[in-house]
Amino acid sequence: MEQSMEGLLLSFDERYPCWTPAMLALAELDRTAADDLTREGLLEFGEGAYSLSPTGREAFLKLAGEACLPSRPGEAPDRKRAARWGELMLLLDKRHLQRWGVKEYVAPFRFALPNVRGEDLFVMDGAAPGWRYPDAPVFRRMAEDFPETGVAARTRPMPGAEEVRAWLAANAPGLRDAEFDLLYKSRYDFQDYAKFPPLPADPCGLFNADHFLFAFMPPPAPESLPEYLEKVGEFQMFLTMLRRLYLPGYVDLDAMDQDGVNWLLFAFTEERDAERCVKLLGPIAEALPGPAAPLELWSVSLEGLRDYPGGQAETIWDILPFAAHSIYRLT
């Protein structure tokens, strides 16, 4: 196998299990080589994307072992979804440099939440949602046992991982995984933060990072509104658990008292759907943060990121607020 084809095969790792022709072009990889690997039985092509075949996974492991690489072959039970988050991740990575920071991606991102759904999560109050999860027993007990949030929470001992696990086992049986297509953790000026040790209960390296969670959604329409509100509710519960259990005192301000960033972005393939999302949620935007404010809500599309003019930006702040659409934005 030619060296260029070996490199292409090794691109099908856990981060990028699927590659579409558009992704290959964006990464300046050779689609002809991908077609050659497909003919050799090392790749499969279906639903608009290439992925490793069983023989390709074996070849991947052999090549990675020979090169002493820790990479693992990617697997994609849902090819379309893996291709969407892969293209989103690749576009974000290509559109900004972050020379004085670190870019970290988790796709998909799963977070264990109390099993609060349906009318226990929210009810409609006219056209807008009323958020009811704070009255669920698990969140009421959480507020009683961990009452301080924000800077005030820094005055009490930081809970350890075992303490948090024990509390959840006692008070939140039947946790379920909420899933987002991508978590982007942006760490700017990361060297200035290297002196701070990690927090003991931090579940996934969220301390001293800006958090951008992306969720691909169905086409915006009145009948899909409950699905959008459920995702907003999951985001609210995620932030509530960070503020009380996992990162108390360090969610909305970091260790150097710089503002923390917590965005939920509804993602789409086409720009027109990102615009329709704003029209769907804009009229009720003030009700969306609920008791989990401060937070921000945006919509974004692969098309918008791909076509936004200006070349490669320096930071995420030089591209995302301009290529995306604000639904609820802090002022």
pLDDT tens-digit series, residues 118-143: 999 999 999 999 999 999 999 999 99
pLDDT at position 195 is: 93
The residue type found at 202 is: D
**Paired tokens of 39:** 């003919």
Distance, in Å, from the CA atom of 231 to the CA atom of 211, rounded to the nearest integer, reads 16
Distance, in Å, from the CA atom of 10 to the CA atom of 12, rounded to the nearest integer, reads 5
Q: Confirm if 267 and 181 have CB atoms less than 8 A apart.
A: yes
pLDDT over 80 (residue 156): yes
Range picked from 97-101, 186-190, 282-286 for highest mean pLDDT? 282-286
How does residue 190 score in pLDDT terms, banded at 50, 70 and 90? confident
Q: Confirm if 284 and 278 have CB atoms less than 8 A apart.
A: no
Q: What digits encode the pLDDT tens for the residues 79-92?
A: 999 999 999 999 99
**Average of per-residue pLDDT across 62-68:** 94
How does residue 1 score in pLDDT terms, banded at 50, 70 and 90? low
The residue type found at 291 is: P
- pTM equals 0.95
How does residue 189 score in pLDDT terms, banded at 50, 70 and 90? confident
Distance, in Å, from the CA atom of 123 to the CA atom of 136, rounded to the nearest integer, reads 13
Q: Confirm if 215 and 171 have CB atoms less than 8 A apart.
A: no
